[in-house]
């Protein structure tokens, strides 16, 4: 099979010639730039600075030579702008706290605060108040909450939609050309065309000069109960914009796309959920369903839903919402045991992730423990198709390279 055929076969719940593998196709299935650099050194690849294409998590771009070395089956199709309104071009060097030199977008501009923390400014405009902070000695940026005083009488859902604009001609042209390049790789193409619907990474509005509306994460979660009509107003408008964008981008790039990463809203904690299934069905499901119905009527794309945590009680609702794929499959969370998930949902839901626990095993285990977990989880999830291998969320900074290599060695052993 070709790489794309391998992924598509798995997505259609048939067993491919070997297990499909994804790293780097999304902002939730990647690796910290330090890990990418370590892998390049391990494989003896051409010395090259790693591009940070997602600044919040400092995710590193996997160049073609590393994808070939790792035997990756997927390809990313991402917007031309990352969060913090950073345009992904005009790359320039930047040195992280641990001394690693990387490449960052040209309008990535930082300053140091009085604590020695590195702060990042919207659009790189250092005259603006910073919207992200990397603590001294840190490896990624935390959002800075810039919540303005809330006047209940003046709350307008449009304020929480400011960053969800209609695609410009420049955006559409980018997707058209980038999609052709992605398809030419022969890998399955995973696209991110923008979404929303309460993704906590987006709530603080780190790309905005002066965010309005509800921008404090805790306030947003409380608003799910205290201001449901306001949340409906936000989601309704986001849904309208997203559907319009999908119609237009499908005309320009749709034929080159296999999977769409629709939404990264987390519903699970380590042992429970952020809301009830009833709340999910009342507040989120109607908007998800509008979007997934349009996608399934008008395209061949499979819909990828990311949610960390113990979401086993939501899986029937996720299926009712029209999702085809679940990521990151947090197998360490309560009720998320691989055998249970596969036996109950494996014929209806594609599991994308869950291959090795990044909180403990990959980060702090031994190579032997990594190998054992990869082989065990892949055997369970891969049975009969419906599985794409990835770790549980992104591979974090300071993960031992020998453990990352052990993961790929186990995959090579499994794939033959």
Among all chains, which residue has been given the structure tokens 């009085």? 114
Q: What is the pLDDT of residue 235?
A: 97
Mean residue pLDDT of the chain comes to 97
Is residue 194 over pLDDT 90?
A: no
Is residue 174 over pLDDT 90?
A: yes
Is residue 398 over pLDDT 80?
A: yes
- Tokens for 165, please give them: 């604009």
Q: Hey, CA dihedral for 399, 407, 389, 48, is it positive or negative?
A: positive
> Would you place residue 416 in the very low, low, confident or very high pLDDT band (cuts 50, 70, 90)?
confident
Give CA–CA dist 416/23, Å, rounded. Answer: 19
Among 56-65, 118-127, 188-197, 213-222, name the one with the lowest average pLDDT.
Answer: 188-197
| Angle separating helix axes 33-42 and 401-415, nearest 10 degrees | 70
Q: What is the pLDDT of residue 103?
A: 98
Boundaries of every domain in the chain = 3-30+64-82+148-415, 31-63+83-144
Q: What is the pLDDT of residues 144-156, one digit of tens each?
A: 999 999 999 999 9
Which residues lie across from 104 on neighbouring strands? 92
Q: What is the pLDDT of residues 252-306, one digit of tens each?
A: 999 999 999 999 999 999 999 999 999 999 999 999 999 999 999 999 999 999 9
| Angle separating helix axes 169-184 and 228-253, nearest 10 degrees | 60
Q: Residue 58: left if φ>0, alpha if ψ -120 to 50, beta else—which one?
A: left
Q: What percent of the chain has pLDDT over 70?
A: 100
Among all chains, which residue has been given the structure tokens 């997927």? 74
Q: Average pLDDT in the 114-121 region?
A: 96
Q: What is the pLDDT of residue 346?
A: 97
Q: Could you give the maximum distance between any two Cα atoms of the chain, in Å?
A: 64
> Would you place residue 196 in the very low, low, confident or very high pLDDT band (cuts 50, 70, 90)?
confident
What is the pTM assigned to this prediction?
0.97
Give CA–CA dist 237/221, Å, rounded. Answer: 19
> What is the rounded radius of gyration, in angstroms, for the C-alpha atoms of the chain?
20
Is residue 82 over pLDDT 90?
A: yes
**Burial, 377: exposed, middle or buried (Cβ in 10 Å; 0-12, 13-18, 19+)?**
buried
- 319 and 349 in contact (C-beta within 8 Å)? yes
Q: What is the pLDDT of residue 378?
A: 98
Closest CA to 123 of 54, 194, 56, 209: 209
Indicate the CATH number for domain 3-30+64-82+148-415. Answer: 3.20.20.210
Q: What percent of the chain has pLDDT over 90?
A: 99
Q: What is the pLDDT of residues 13-44, one digit of tens each?
A: 999 999 999 999 999 999 999 999 999 999 99
- 180 and 191 in contact (C-beta within 8 Å)? no
Closest CA to 11 of 183, 330, 258, 343: 258
Q: Average pLDDT in the 351-360 region?
A: 98
- Tokens for 131, please give them: 């919207």
Is residue 195 over pLDDT 80?
A: no
User: Residue 297 contacts by C-beta under 8 Å, 6 or more apart in sequence?
Assistant: none
Collapsing DSSP to helix, strand or coil, 287 comes out as helix
Q: Average pLDDT in the 33-57 region?
A: 97
Q: What is the pLDDT of residue 270?
A: 96
Which residues lie across from 302 on neighbouring strands? 259
Among all chains, which residue has been given the structure tokens 């395209």? 299
């Amino acid at each position: 099979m070709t790489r794309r055929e391998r992924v598509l076969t798995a997505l259609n719940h048939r067993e491919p010639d070997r297990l499909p593998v994804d790293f780097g196709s999304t902002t939730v299935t990647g690796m910290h730039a330090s890990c990418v650099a370590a892998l390049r050194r391990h494989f003896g690849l051409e010395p090259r600075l790693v591009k940070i294409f997602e600044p919040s998590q400092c995710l590193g771009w996997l160049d073609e030579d590393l994808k070939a070395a790792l035997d990756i089956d997927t390809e990313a199709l991402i917007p031309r702008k990352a969060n913090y309104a950073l345009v992904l071009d005009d790359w320039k060097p930047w040195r992280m706290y641990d001394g690693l030199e990387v490449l960052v977008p040209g309008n990535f501009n930082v300053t140091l605060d009085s604590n020695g923390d590195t702060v990042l400014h919207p659009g790189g405009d250092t005259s603006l108040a910073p919207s992200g902070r990397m603590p001294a000695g840190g490896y990624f940026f935390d959002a800075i909450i810039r919540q303005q005083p809330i006047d209940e009488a003046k709350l307008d859902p449009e304020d929480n939609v400011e960053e969800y604009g209609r695609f410009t001609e420049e955006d559409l042209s980018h997707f058209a050309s980038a999609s052709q390049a992605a398809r030419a790789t022969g890998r399955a193409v995973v696209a991110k065309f923008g979404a929303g619907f309460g993704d906590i990474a987006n709530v603080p509005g780190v790309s905005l000069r002066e965010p309005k509306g509800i921008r404090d994460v805790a306030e947003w979660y409380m608003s799910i109960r205290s201001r449901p009509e306001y949340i409906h107003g936000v989601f309704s408008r986001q849904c309208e914009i997203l559907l319009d964008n999908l119609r237009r981008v499908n005309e320009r790039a749709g034929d080159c796309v296999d999977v769409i990463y629709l939404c990264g809203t987390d519903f699970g904690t380590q042992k429970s959920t952020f809301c009830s299934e009833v709340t999910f069905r009342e507040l989120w499901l109607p908007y998800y369903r509008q979007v997934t119905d349009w996608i399934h009527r008008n395209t061949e794309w499979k819909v990828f839903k990311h949610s960390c945590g113990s979401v086993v009680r939501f899986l029937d609702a996720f299926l009712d919402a029209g999702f085809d794929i679940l990521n990151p499959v947090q197998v360490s969370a309560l009720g998320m045991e691989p055998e249970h998930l596969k036996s109950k949902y494996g014929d209806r839901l594609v599991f994308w992730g869950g291959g090795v626990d990044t909180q403990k095993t990959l980060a702090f285990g031994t190579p032997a423990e990594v190998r054992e977990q990869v082989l065990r989880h892949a055997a369970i999830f891969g049975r009969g198709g419906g599985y794409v291998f990835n770790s549980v969320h992104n591979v974090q900074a300071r993960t031992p390279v020998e453990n990352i290599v052990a993961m790929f060695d186990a995959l090579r052993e499994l794939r033959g």
